[in-house]
Amino acid sequence: MIKIWLKTFYNIILKEMFVYKKTFKSKAIDLLIIVLSNMIVFNYIMPYFGVKPNYGAFILIGLIPAVNFFDIIPKTTDLVMDITGSKKISYILTLPLPSFLSIAAIPVSWAISGCMYTILVLPLGKLILWNKFSLEHFSFFKFILAFLIINIMFGFFALWLAALIKSMKYVSWVWARIVNPLFMLGGYFYSWKAIFSMSHIAGYMNLINPVMFATEALRSSVFESKNFVPYWISILAMLLFTIMFAFLGIKKLKKRLDCV
């Protein structure tokens, strides 16, 4: 039975990968433009306005979860359209697999496609910045572990959002009220210790933001870790967020689709 479940789970993910493969070339070009434009602004222009010379490298690592975040979140729209329209998801629920695993396969496939896409940010950024981006403190193991957890966490976060959205007319408020604040206050432009030194209250409030732990974990694996939230605390926090989003998202979606 378990073997059948694993094979079915794998096939659901494989189907999504075939769809993603068709757009990979175009998305890779998009990614190059995103990385290049960010590095031009934050590494070559912003230092003239007083920011530190290494700010470009700082932004580069923050760009990894940011790109992944904005790549996965739009998939909620597709899922909401399907749930409120053609309901192709109903086919997945008829497969020889428990309903919670059938639903879980969706965000896992999003996470895998996100990995294939955003892993390119680091090498592209290194090529652009070259000797302005030091890998002296880089830990491959810590980076890959954080990278994988981030993708899975955002995948289940997107599933949870899709489960909350009742119809397409509510999609805009998700971006305005949830996605944008999480990104802007998620450490893309600053580290947690920087905001904590400015205001302890603001620092503690930032710890309820999963995006903050994503950026801190990656930067801690690439730069000198003492300047960021301790790596393993960020990892633990992201795992807890992942479990919470998975539980709430799957439970809500099962109820919405009337499946057991």
pLDDT digits (tens, 9 = 90+) for 20-41: 778 888 888 999 999 999 999 9
Q: What is the pLDDT of residue 190?
A: 93
**Is the pTM higher than 0.75?**
yes
The parent domain of residue 133 ranges over 2-256
Give tens-digit pLDDT for 107-126. 999 999 889 889 999 999 99
Separation of alpha carbons 214 and 203, rounded Å: 15
Mean pLDDT of the chain: 89
Confidence of residue 154 (pLDDT cuts 50, 70, 90): very high
36: exposed, middle or buried (Cβ count in 10 Å: 0-12, 13-18, 19+): middle
Q: How many structural domains compose the chain? A: 1
Integer angstrom CA distances of residue 207 from 3, 195, 200, 216: 40, 11, 11, 11
Please provide the distance, in angstroms rounded to a whole number, between the alpha carbons at the two ends of the chain: 18
